[in-house]
Amino acid sequence: MSSALEINNATHPVVEQRYSMIDSGLPEALLHAIHSKPCNRDAGTIIKLEGELSASVFVVLSGWVALNKALPDGEKQILDFMLPGEVIDPGSADPLVSAVEVEAVTEVKLAIIPRESWEQLLHAHASIRTAHERITAAGQARMSERLLRLGKANAQVRIAYALLELCLRLKTGSTSDGEKFHLPFTQQQLGDFTGLSSVHVCRTLRRLKRHGIVETEDHMDVLIRDIEALAGVAQVNVDELRNQIIPNHRINE
Amino acid sequence: MSSALEINNATHPVVEQRYSMIDSGLPEALLHAIHSKPCNRDAGTIIKLEGELSASVFVVLSGWVALNKALPDGEKQILDFMLPGEVIDPGSADPLVSAVEVEAVTEVKLAIIPRESWEQLLHAHASIRTAHERITAAGQARMSERLLRLGKANAQVRIAYALLELCLRLKTGSTSDGEKFHLPFTQQQLGDFTGLSSVHVCRTLRRLKRHGIVETEDHMDVLIRDIEALAGVAQVNVDELRNQIIPNHRINE
DNA sequence: CGGACGCATTAACCTCGGTTAAATAGGCCG
DNA sequence: CGGCCTATTTAACCGAGGTTAATGCGTCCG
């Protein structure tokens, strides 16, 4: 099945374009706006507080960023991770008030773009607007998948889904057994992302390992041994999921 | 405190404009697009399936709509309720594939607008675009609040938050003790919304009633007796929450 | 080299909330 | 009016996952 697809693709090549704000080929206007003031932050830095004034959007140029939200009692939830090429608009119903906390997970490089410049960019360049709309829709689809699992799925499903989602987002193109990637955060943070305690993240990973589905080593280097089994546990179809959460564009010809 | 505010408002009137797609004063283009083909659906009807082709956006004209998402094993989560004046774009990273199921909760009236017409409308009318952006940002802020609570909060917090959110969305303007509203769905559905079983929704409502915070009667007519206490349980500040999740616009003069 | 620190791992214990089931309470219709 | 259907309510039971705490292990640093 997978080989049939590959043969098919070889015969009828697929032009695949990954939408991203920092892909080559974007209008100079964006590149200019971005490169005019790239901004570096160390791992762990809070870039923006929840409720703070939010007059700019951020484009992630390199590194991982987390969008967090906390209850008054201190419990913190990671709403989403943002990867290079993605756009962070922290605004809420009041565009000037941030609904989330923005945190550098690793050392990051950001473009900070004032909201007005950003609006102008979107207005002037249809390609940027399209890319942004795809990326936003992809982000919402991911949020929906996670909301569903937080509401209705157990720990195994949540962890399996999180690993799969992050794998798909990190690896462009098709995915197969043996995919290997590094998650630049702790099991505690994986728990904050999946709504589980760090202890139970550990228990759950152990189970996935014992079943030969994944392996981990050296602080969150993940190896997916059996991606179909992982998708089975996560209750998704890998190809459908990729299509819904990864802002790619395929033209068969 | 509340009375001080009222006095203040009386002295320095607040011009408050609620952003909505069906507010009076919107350009005729939208009204035309909307009224050219209003579309009715009975309660319970599935308007769009998850994964289905999604070439149009929907504007809710009247009634309640739910956005659902289900796991293969059948567990269903209600991601959001959509109220009159709000816009539903079911698309995912692939704009033609719906990431969610769209269901009529009550009898509803919808405007079905082809994606291209919709894009044109947004392009031609800055006021519609602004309203849409506010509404979308408000929706994301709501999703964030819920994701946080699904991940980190117990049943009381979730239920209290859900009641508060729906109350704010239903009642324009300030909110106080004694607010009364009808939720047109069952406790089972409130459970699908908050990630709880219907039995536990019942238990949790009972507790809120025993503490004198809310009352219910006649299939989900809700009366909020003590909104500050409710907000305390929900772990929010009512005014901040309103500002972040309700697409209103205030101009003090 | 040795201590301190952060993270992962494991076990023991307990709670919140799911499941099942039975009882109650309206609406609706023949 | 009486049967039926659906939603709510309540109780009894149980299990997934949280909490706490102890242990191990690698890394950094004095």
Beta pairing, strands A101-104 & B180-182: unpaired
How does pLDDT run along chain A (253 residues), one tens digit per residue?
Answer: 333 333 333 344 455 567 777 764 566 777 777 777 789 999 999 999 999 999 999 999 999 999 999 999 999 999 999 999 999 999 999 999 999 999 999 999 999 999 999 998 888 888 888 889 999 999 999 999 999 999 999 999 999 999 999 999 999 777 888 899 999 999 999 999 999 999 999 999 999 999 999 999 988 999 999 999 999 999 999 999 999 999 875 544 3
Q: CB contact, 8 Å: B89 with chain A?
A: yes
DSSP state of B185: S
Q: CB contact, 8 Å: A125 with chain B?
A: no
Q: Which residues touch strand D (CB under 7 A)?
A: A 154-156, 195-197, 199-200; B 186-188, 198-199, 202-203, 205-206, 216, 219-220
Say if CB B134 and CB B36 are below 8 A apart: no
Which of A138, A148, A151 is nearest residue B93 as measured by Cβ atoms?
A138
Q: Which amino acid, one-letter code, is at A34? A: I
Residue A192: closest CA among chain B residues belongs to which residue? B151
Verify whether the Cβ–Cβ distance A195 to B152 is below 8 Å: yes
Verify whether the Cβ–Cβ distance B75 to A152 is below 8 Å: yes
Q: Which amino acid, one-letter code, is at B21? A: M
User: Bridge partners of A241?
Assistant: none
Three-class secondary structure of residue A85 per DSSP = coil
| Residue located via tokens 């195994």 | A156
CA distance A212 to chain B (A): 23
Q: CB contact, 8 Å: A121 with chain B?
A: no
The pLDDT assigned to A128 comes to 87
Q: CB contact, 8 Å: B189 with chain A?
A: no
Query: Please, what is the end-to-end C-alpha distance for chain B in angstroms?
Result: 21
What is the CA A28 to C1' C25 distance in angstroms?
A: 69
Say if CB A66 and CB A81 are below 8 A apart: yes
Q: CB contact, 8 Å: A141 with chain B?
A: yes
Three-class secondary structure of residue B187 per DSSP = helix
CA distance A121 to chain B (A): 14
pLDDT, tens digit, 9 for 90 and up, residues A98-109: 999 999 999 999
Interface size A-B, in CB pairs within 8 Å, comes to: 136
How many of the other CB atoms lie within 10 Å of CB of A184?
15
Verify whether the Cβ–Cβ distance A71 to B243 is below 8 Å: no
Q: CB contact, 8 Å: B191 with chain A?
A: no
User: Which of these, B248, B177, B49, lies nearest to A95 by C-alpha position?
Assistant: B248
CA distance A77 to chain B (A): 6
Verify whether the Cβ–Cβ distance B93 to A148 is below 8 Å: no
Residue nearest to nucleotide D9 (CA to C1'): B202
| Residue located via tokens 């901040």 | B240
Three-class secondary structure of residue A199 per DSSP = helix
What is the CA A146 to C1' D28 distance in angstroms?
A: 37
Residue A98: closest CA among chain B residues belongs to which residue? B244
pLDDT, tens digit, 9 for 90 and up, residues A183-239: 999 999 999 999 999 999 999 999 999 999 999 998 899 999 999 999 999 999 999
Q: Which nucleotide is nearest to A153 (CA to C1')?
A: D16
User: Which of these, B57, B16, B14, B12, lies nearest to B33 by C-alpha position?
Assistant: B57
In angstroms, rounded to a whole number, what is the distance separating the alpha carbons of residues A207 and A213?
9
